Structure 1
């Protein structure tokens, strides 16, 4: 797989290059900031872009805004946001955008190299891969939404696992229930959220998270957009 990396930490950037190369991937570019990422992706045509959230010059949200812009420029591009932070302002927009596969993993919670490489492979195969903490913060952000309050605690657990890209079979094993019970929970979730059920895992995740963030203010995207005033 052809991969482009945008990461300001030289140690982590070079570590990712080595790790991915050893795993058989081709790193076509490793950039310290997002100033030329749109041009580089256009010229190099990677299969996956791995992007940090907070990049120079302001170390606020340049990375995730660049990820949004990349998906707008090339909807087929798979994007993995790999960061220490959950940038809620843009995370739902990123996940809800139509197009290629997407992932959002937190650096501090990746404790196993094999798991990380497996996540990249799942993204390449079209899965939506989200850290549970990302899902939890997005759900909390919209916890006042009347429709979300309809869900039971078990349905919220199922929804979080769906958002991680888990299959119905995997959810049944993790929650120690039958697949039939999982299917009933999923049906109930979609009914309570007034969302149509389908058989495509990514569509389910995107639809649910799009609904969760449906009433949030829209923000400008792209590396040149106005900063949001966050501090490092």
Structure 2
């Protein structure tokens, strides 16, 4: 793990936890350029400071339901170059799926009670800032709602390659350019992935998200 200097915006409404995390990050060589106790303050801080990564709690004032992760989705849309590490006690499946809809690159989602060592958190932070993915297996499990395992093994090498690029957030057109094939060929591969993963067009959730989550769950994230 390259321990490069990171600029971080930290959104956490608990003052005690927020101060503790600021101290922790500082001792690990990170610069907390701003802290936020509300979702609007988080959005403003990201726009102003353009950090490498934003650490976001889900439940923030005023309703303490999903303000934080809603803000994370907005950050993803406005400034996709900013990594997002959701750090919460809760799994918010609907908004987490929306956060991952554009691909899992630069996205992390850790559960506070399941992080056993400080090094795990720091590793995830650096991975997300570098464009990688850090999803707690419990998060993936809940997002998949008990989906069957082992389906990635049924893919052809090219289908797996297409799925890996989907996980990085590439569109069909972008994948076609990268693989030097037609967009129609990519569409056929994507359709084959959906079929093998039993993801029907009538599914309420985004099929690309579920396909990516299956890939991450079975490849170790």
| TM-score between the two structures when normalised by the length of structure 1 | 0.66
For structure 2, the residue ranges without an aligned partner over 5 or more in a row are: 1-5, 171-189, 207-221
Contact 1:197 1:204 survives alignment (8 Å): no
Aligned equivalent of 2:82: 77
Contact 1:75 1:98 in 2 (8 A): no
Residues 95-152 of structure 1 deviation map (CA, whole Å, 9 limit, x = unaligned) = 2224850000000101100111111111122211100110110111xx5xxxx5xx5x
**CA-to-aligned-CA distance 1:57-82 (integer Å, 9 cap, x gap):** 00000000000000011111100000
Where relative contact order (Cα < 8 A, 6+ residues apart) is larger, the structure is 1
CA distance 1:45–1:108, change in 2 (3 Å):
same
In 2, Cα distance between equivalents of 1:97 and 1:16: 29
Per the alignment, residue 180 of structure 2 pairs with none
Contact 1:75 1:99 in 2 (8 A): no
Alignment: residue pair count = 174
Counterpart residue number, 1:162: none
Which of the residues 137, 142, 148 maps onto 2:142? 137
The correspondence for 2:160, drawn from 188, 197, 205, is 197
C-alpha deviation, 1:205, in angstroms: 7.1
Deviation of 1:206 after TM superposition, in Å, equals 6.1
Cα deviation digits, residues 162-201 of structure 1 (max 9, x gap): xxxxxxxxxxxxxxxxxxxxxxxx341x46xxx9321785
The match for 1:226 is none
Q: Measure, in 2, the Cα distance between the counterparts of 1:213 and 1:205.
A: 22
SS across alignment from 1:60 = coil
Output the aligned Cα RMSD: 2.9
Confirm or deny that 1:66 pairs with 2:71: yes
Task: Flag structure 1 segments of 5+ consecutive residues without an equivalent.
Answer: 157-185, 219-232
Q: What is the TM-score with the length of structure 2 in the denominator? A: 0.69
Aligned with 1:37 (options 39, 42, 64): 42
Q: Distance in 2 between matches of 1:44 and 1:60?
A: 26
Match of 1:216 among 191, 196, 204: 204
Counterpart of 2:210 in structure 1 is: none
Q: Is the CA contact 2:104–2:167 (under 8 Å) kept in the aligned structure 1? A: no
Give the Cα–Cα distance (whole angstroms) in 1 for the partners of residues 162 and 55 of structure 2.
28
Distance 2:110 2:7 in 1: 19
Which residue does the alignment assign to 1:121? 126
1:203: Cα distance to partner? 3.5
